[in-house]
Amino acid sequence: MIDVRRIGLALSLLFWTVPAAAEPSTDAAFVGWARDHAIALPACSSISSGADYSAIANRIGGARLVALGEPVHGAHEPLALRNCLFRYLVETQGFTAIALESGLHESRRLSDYAAGGQGDVRDIARSGFTWGFWRFPENIELLEWIRAYNLDARHVRKIAFYGIDMSGGDADGAWARARVTLDDGIAYLARAAPAKSAPVRRKIAPFLARFSVPGYRALGKGERARLRQGIGDILGFFDLHRAALIGASSREDYDWARQNIVAARQLQALFDVSRDPGADAALMPDDYRADAARDAAMADNARWALGRIGPKGRMLLFAHNGHVMNGRTRGGLWSVYAQPPAAMGLHLRRAFGDDLLILGTSAPAGKSEAGAISGTVDAALASTGLAHFLIDIRSPDPAASAWLSREQSISVNYAAVNLIEPRQAFDALVFVSRLTPSGGTR
């Protein structure tokens, strides 16, 4: 069973639990409006087949960043939609990057392979995707398609691949591999500036073996302060010697190495608010702070990735609905929180405004329309009787607007729920009437 407290929101969304009964809120006026304004989407089960997603592209307009959510990790339909939509956006809308809810440090291997690097794709995926996402064949398919696209000499504009989640994560919440972020940055400095960087590298060396939740909890207040100062000194060295470091290596290596040190700073912020992973797994009121730290870090990493592709670059970001939404985590399992933590999408909305489009994906709680949890957004959309459609909820009719502006619940991983205000959380919704397991989970 996944420990929802220890690993934050995204993996807490993998925890299957029965929610408290939802208050019926399906409004006939909204259902009628949704039925009348739904735009049918083409079926597309494989990126190789392609599909015309002009209906979505028309809603995107000129936005540089599109955040696409999924209602559950490991379902085929949202992953296939992501792949087919991304191909369409690359080939017709000038998109140049994709970012996934997977570890930033680990994704360098995926990025290099996608750029044309060598190796066995499954071995690379196993080490490059975190949280077990390498098991989903749709992720392998996406990686292979991007690599083939980049190797085609006809495509002058290449496609970048990023993970934007925190690095070194594990299912038990110990973040036992978190030191990979520090190891990467230190190894880079040892290659690019061995003599000059030696003092800052020595400062951080005593903490490497203890850079995990259990190790960090064993540090005294003074040691934690020295670790924080050591990370800051390394970042300062990167910035002060930027030109020389790039000259001794490459802009690519410099950017990734520096961001790994940023990722280490993000992890220390998480460790500061994390409880002992061996403690009671039940969510506690102060555990909101860990979720808040994680989503803030993911937003920072997404901004970094978008910045790397330049002012004319455009990026699709794919993560759970609970991360991409412009809102705070409330309701269901998370009702115990002392405060509702801000989701990644809230940070991104503040940063990009209308240059960000957020697409949520809704699906029934079960494997058919009949499985929808009563009183949810999913149940309302299932009531339209339509199977696979897009609905823009930014400017609905007054009756529909009232429903969309009220607090509603949306299903999370089949049986749990979050509370959202739909028009605030998402700009548009994609509905699929059936979810089936990814090929890797059968």
Q: What DSSP letter does each residue of 37-49 carry, written as one string? A: H-EE------TTT
Mean pLDDT of all residues in 404-433: 94
* Exposure class string for 18-43: b at 16+ Cβ within 10 A, else e: ebeebeebbbeebbebbeebbbebee
Cβ atoms of 348 and 356 within 8 Å: the answer is yes
b/e map of 348-366 (b: 16 or more CB within 10 Å)?
bbeebeeebbbbbbbbbbb
- According to DSSP, the β-strands at 416-420 and 39-40 are unpaired
User: Residue range 41-60: average pLDDT?
Assistant: 94
pLDDT of residue 375: 78
pLDDT > 90? residue 5:
no
Determine the residue type at 175: W
**pLDDT of 25 above 50:** no
- The pLDDT of residue 75 is above 80: yes
Residues 186-207 have a mean pLDDT of 98
Mean pLDDT of 364-386: 75
Looking at per-residue pLDDT, the higher value among 441 and 135 belongs to 135
Question: Residue 235: pLDDT above 80?
Answer: yes
Confidence of residue 281 (pLDDT cuts 50, 70, 90): confident
The top-level CATH class assigned to 4-173+274-441 is alpha beta
| Residue range 148-175, pLDDT digits in tens | 999 999 999 999 999 999 999 877 789 9
Tokens 């993970």 locate to: 163
The pLDDT-based confidence of 372 (bands split at 50, 70, 90) is: low
- Name the token pair of 242: 């930027």
Residues in the chain: 442
- Alpha helices, H only, 45-136: 54-60, 76-93, 104-114, 121-128
Q: Where is pLDDT greater, at 276 or 103?
A: 103
CATH number of 174-273: 1.20.1440.30
Q: What is the pLDDT of residue 16?
A: 32
Q: What pLDDT was estimated at residue 12?
A: 37
Min mean pLDDT across 233-242, 254-263, 397-406 is at 397-406
Question: Fold match between 4-173+274-441 and 174-273?
Answer: no
User: So what's the pLDDT on residue 11?
Assistant: 37
Reported as a pLDDT band with limits 50, 70 and 90, residue 413 is confident
Q: Provide CB contacts within 8 A for 274, sequence distance 6+.
A: 6, 173, 175, 213, 290
Query: What was the pLDDT predicted at 4?
Result: 35
Three-class SS of residue 409?
Answer: strand
Helix intervals (H) in 374-429: 377-382, 398-405, 422-425
Residues 133-161 have a mean pLDDT of: 97
Residue 23 has pLDDT above 60, yes or no: no
User: Where exactly are the structural domains of the chain?
Assistant: 4-173+274-441, 174-273
Res. 34: pLDDT tops 50: yes
How does DSSP classify residue 385? Answer: -
Of the pLDDT bands very low, low, confident and very high (cuts 50, 70, 90), residue 405 is very high
**What is the mean pLDDT of the segment spanning 37-51?**
94
Which DSSP string do the residues of 210-266 spell out, in sequence order? G-SHHHHHTS-HHHHHHHHHHHHHHHHHHHHTHHHHHHHS-HHHHHHHHHHHHHHHH
What is the DSSP pairing of strand 408-412 with strand 416-420? antiparallel
314-346: buried (b, 16+ CB within 10 Å) or exposed (e) per residue?
A: bbbbbbbbbbbbbbbbbbbbbeebeebbbbbbb
pLDDT tens sequence across 424-435:
999 999 999 999
What is the residue-averaged pLDDT of the chain?
91
pTM of the complete model: 0.92
Q: What is the mean pLDDT of residues 10-36?
A: 57
What does the pLDDT average to over 93-116? 98
Nearest C-alpha neighbor of 403 from the set 101, 122, 25? 25
Of the candidates 287, 307, 308, 288, the one whose C-alpha atom is nearest the C-alpha of residue 348 is: 307
Q: Which two tokens stand for residue 37?
A: 């304004």
Eight-class DSSP state of 137: H
Both tokens assigned to 426: 């998402």
pLDDT confidence bin for 208, thresholds 50/70/90: very high
